[in-house]
Amino acid sequence: MDLTRLHYFVAVVEGGSFSRGAAALHMSQPALSRQVLLLEQEVGQALLVRTGRGAEPTEAGLALLAHARGIFELADRARADMFERQASPRGRVIVGLPPRVAHVLTADLVERFRAEYPDAIISMVEGLSIRLREWVVAGKLDMAILFDPPHSPQIEEETLAREPLVLIGPAPLPRRVRLADVAALPLVMPSGPNALRQLLERETRPRGLPLQVVAEVDSVQTVLSLVARGVSHTVLPQSALRLWTYDQPLHMAPIQSPAIRNRLVLAVPKARPATKPSRFAVQLLRALALEHYGGSPAQVAKAR
């Protein structure tokens, strides 16, 4: 339905005649009559009856008048809401983070977001990358940081950082270790769907280097506690070293031949409409990822 013609129709009803409606709209009476006729043709019913005193709505016209006033009221409310959001945006932004990333970024993210948008709500959801990716595709999250996600046409992806994988062990290690040597060691690793496990196996399987996994544990903190107890070795991104809080010394060696790097990816669903608060949250995640996971000062400044 043409909303402009609907507006013309309401002007005639409220003015009580075509002449007064045309004057209120600053248009000629023939032009107004033509527009109302087109509206009647569109709805397939007569909407106005001309009388000696002017024009009156028919039964169908009265019904359409009620709909029109409701539509215009909603438009006014939408306009007022947009104006209010421009002055002080509200709403909710839902951000998904893997637990290890959430441990590092959440406090800064919430604090800076609240300083910029005190009337908006930021909701933090923690989960494994594979689950967060599903929720992004489904439109349940406004954005998420993921580790090495497979490509999806429903998601816009941006690589924020790349981290080298390192071997962590219960005893002193060489300055560097080869991937073949890593595969020969007993390892505590996350279970199969985990992005880190998949990344490591993509490098070892083609080389005929099956991993010697002795336990599968998805919590990075628990994995590190097992290493600290001397149970086994593990492979983690370099930033996981900051989670080492044990009395035992930390033994770490970068992996080479080949060196392996993961990808820290910002994922945003294409189908979910962006708002000013959600766009700001995206900027914050870029800046915080660069601050905590690498990037030059110029890159950090640009992401702010």
Distance CA 221, CA 207 (A): 30
pLDDT category, 206, cuts 50, 70, 90? very high
Asked whether residue 257 falls in the same domain as residue 191, the answer is yes
Residues 154 and 267 in one domain: yes
268 shares a domain with 252: no
> 56, 87, 118: which is the final residue of a domain?
87
Which of the four pLDDT bands, split at 50, 70 and 90, describes residue 171?
very high
Residues 175 and 250 in one domain: yes
Whether 303 has a pLDDT exceeding 50, the answer reads no
pLDDT at 298: 39
How far from 46 is each of 31, 61, 66, 239, CA to CA, in Å? 18, 7, 16, 72
Instruction: Read off the CATH number of the domain in which 10 is found.
Output: 1.10.10.10
User: Do 72 and 146 belong together in one domain?
Assistant: no
Last residue of a domain, one of 72, 87, 102: 87
pLDDT in the model for residue 295: 47
**Looking at the structure, do residues 170 and 228 belong to the same domain, yes or no?**
yes
Q: How confident is the model at residue 1 (pLDDT cuts 50, 70, 90)?
A: confident
Give CA–CA dist 61/138, Å, rounded: 43
CB-hemisphere CA count at 13 Å for 76?
6
User: Same structural domain for residues 112 and 75?
Assistant: no
Q: How far apart are CA 299 and CA 186, in angstroms?
A: 39
Model confidence over 19-69: pLDDT tens digits? 998 999 999 999 999 999 999 999 898 999 988 889 999 999 999 998 988
Task: Please tell me the chain's helix, strand, coil percentages from 3-state DSSP, rounded to the nearest 5.
Answer: 50, 25, 25
Task: Assess whether 296 and 147 both reside in one domain.
Answer: yes
CATH number at residue 117: 3.40.190.10
pLDDT for position 296: 36
Tell me what pLDDT residue 304 has: 37
19 and 72 fall within a common domain: yes
Q: Where does the pLDDT of residue 301 fall: very low under 50, low under 70, confident under 90, or very high at 90 and above?
A: very low
For residue range 91-149, list pLDDT tens digits in order: 789 999 999 899 999 999 999 999 999 989 999 999 989 899 999 998 899 999 999 99
Asked if 166 and 252 touch (Cβ cutoff 8 Å), the reply is yes
152 and 280: one domain? yes
**Residue 86 confidence (pLDDT) above 70:** no
Task: Please identify, among 87, 112, 138, the residue that sits at the C-terminal boundary of a domain.
Answer: 87
Tally of domains in the chain: 3
Tell me which H or E stretch contains 101.
helix 99-116
Residue 146 bridge partners (DSSP): 265
pTM of the model: 0.65
Mean pLDDT for the stretch of residues 218-238: 94
Per-residue pLDDT tens over the stretch 287-297: 999 898 874 33
Q: What is the predicted pLDDT for the residue at 177?
A: 96
Range(s) of the domain holding residue 14:
3-87
Residues 184 and 36 in one domain: no
Q: What is the mean pLDDT of the chain?
A: 89
Query: Cα angle at 159 between 192 and 92, to 5 degrees?
Result: 90
pLDDT band at residue 275 using 50, 70 and 90 as cut-offs: confident
Statement: residue 266 has pLDDT above 50: yes
Residue 124: per-residue pLDDT: 96
Give residue 87's pLDDT band: very low, low, confident or very high (50, 70, 90).
low
pLDDT in tens, 240-260: 998 899 999 999 999 998 999
Same domain, residue pair 7 and 81: yes
- pLDDT value, residue 246: 94
Tell me the C-alpha distance between 90 and 96, whole Å.
19
